[in-house]
A and B are shown apart, each in its own frame.
Chain A
Amino acid sequence: MPITTAEVEHVALLARLKLTPEEKAAYTGQLNAILEYMDKLNALDTTDVEPTAHVLPLRNVFRDDVARPGLPREKALAGAPAASEGQFKVPRVV
């Protein structure tokens, strides 16, 4: 089922992306190309193939429950576009 422009607009809204009409058209085309490839994969018989939860053959990797110092606050805030009172300052969204 091909992707419509409306669906691209919905995903763009969820991702907080502002797209021009040209970009919407371009992404609609690109997403459809990707999904067509999925259709090719769907044609394969995967009855005996386990679903992949992870590409590495690793299981049960844990850390111990030990607290240790993190970043000094100046460093934590160093990459923030804006900070105030020791906190990250962001545009108000509600």
Chain B
Amino acid sequence: MEYEAVIGLEVHVELKTNAKAFCGCTTAFGGEPNTHVCPVCLGLPGVLPVINRQVVEFGLKTALALNCQVAPFCKFDRKNYYYPDLPKNYQISQYDLPLARGGHLKITVDGEERVIGITRVHMEEDAGKLIHVDGPDGGYSLVDYNRTGVPLLEIVSEPDLRSPAEARAYMEKLRTILQYLDVSDCKMEEGSLRCDANVSVRPRGSQSFGTKTEVKNLNSFRSLQRALEYEIERQVAILESGGRVEQATMAWDENRGVTYVMRTKEEAQDYRYFPDPDLVPLEIDAAWIERVRRELPELPDARCRRLIDDYGLPAYDAGVITSSRDLADYFDRVVALYPDAKTVSNWIMGDFLRLLNAGNLEPGQSPVPPEEMASLLQLQKEGTISGKIAKQVLEEMFATGKGARQIVEEKGLVQISDAAALTQIVEEVLAANPGVVEDYRNGKDKALGFLVGQVMKATRGKANPGLVNRLLKERL
């Protein structure tokens, strides 16, 4: 039997506010343990949390960018559980009246566009960090509450995803949108973007759902995809052998490449939600929503459309370039100075991204400013340097941060376009390769390429290839 997967994702995004969600503590990363805490986020008696306005603003931006309906009225609830990552024994969250519901985003996988529903977006607080220490009597745990109370958005998708590749595409698209909105650092490795997946399998074509498991600990796009592939295979194998999938919460072990059971349904959490009496409800009127909507930046889909329509870029190029707001900004700035969009796109998608990846850099951290990229392309267009040399110069620019013209001058890389200077080299190459010359004369066109290559080699890539071609043909 053929099976298909049914996947929904719950994504947690840490918002990049200055202060925590309900107190004035900083959200800065990396402080000494328990130095970003106060009576409110430590849950000391008698304190009152008050919601940070920026959390609601960021929440609204995100909800609108994801095409959600914003609730005119929402409130905070207490999610009760006993685990020392939260000192109050409850997490402030939103239960039955979330900030927004009913949105969607679009993904493209293998050239096919799909619309993925978004069930809800709600606000909540992050928890602290535990370090477990072995020892007598079961050991102990050390708790750092610096992250406790940092604002999170939880974004829940509909079970609309049908493969690990689609889940990954959804996650990547969501991250891109959040980056465009500038509401989060979106660093999966630092935990500012996290993902849990609900997954089940069913016979292809079936309308009912199979029993699902929830997979946690998906800290990278790669783990998300690998964990889902593993979990789907595991569930299919159970069904094929006549067994039943048991509802459970699983964790992904990246090193071993397996999912394992954290808890089964019998031990499922019972959170006993109730409205938090410490926080007053929110009323978000149409004027507020409209103001936020007007302030939304151009989003990835619209920007991609614009690159296709205004510059005539292929959809693939436009998709790659707009997958990062910084990369799209970079492209726009280079094109403003060097208006051959397809050439700019080729360079950005090729050598530029390759060199960024090699240096483990994000597009916003490029050591080559857009002005210098444009001047490199200009040097090539003028014929001052060849395309091959241009690639070398770009590498040098990445390595040293120097300008394109400076490198070309310092290294004497100016293209040789002087026929007199090249003639001698051309004649030497012809003299040294009589056999190849003979081949060419006997109709082997490929032989010309070899001879051009020899001249380029002799000039260390600096000869103008067009001129070399002409000079060779004149003599053959």
Contacts and interface: CB of A to CB of B under 8 A. Distances in A.
A61 B75 CA distance: 12
Interface residues of B, number: 55
A65 B38 contact: no
A90 B27 contact: no
Contacts of B97: 53
Given A14-B270, A63-B53, A85 B142 contact: yes
Interface stretch (B278-286, B371-379, B423-431, B448-456): B278-286
B223 interface: no
A92 B133 contact: yes
A65 B22 CA distance: 10
A10 B267 CA distance: 11
Contact of B282 (A60, A73, A88, A89): A60
B37 A87 contact: no
B73 to A, nearest CB: 8
Chain A CB within 10 Å — which of B23, B38, B84, B142 has the most?
A: B142
B140 interface: yes
A64 interface: yes
Interface residues of A, number: 37
Contacts of A93: 83-84, 141
A71 B19 contact: no
Contacts of B87: 88
Interface in B7-39: 17-19, 22-28, 32-39
A60 B51 CA distance: 9
B138 A89 contact: no
Interface string A69-94: 01101001101001011111111111
27 contacts: A10-B270, A16-B82, A53-B73, A58-B280, A59-B282, A59-B283, A61-B50, A61-B51, A62-B52, A65-B17, A65-B19, A67-B25, A67-B27, A67-B28, A70-B24, A70-B25, A70-B41, A71-B37, A71-B38, A73-B35, A76-B42, A84-B142, A85-B33, A85-B142, A87-B131, A88-B87, A93-B141
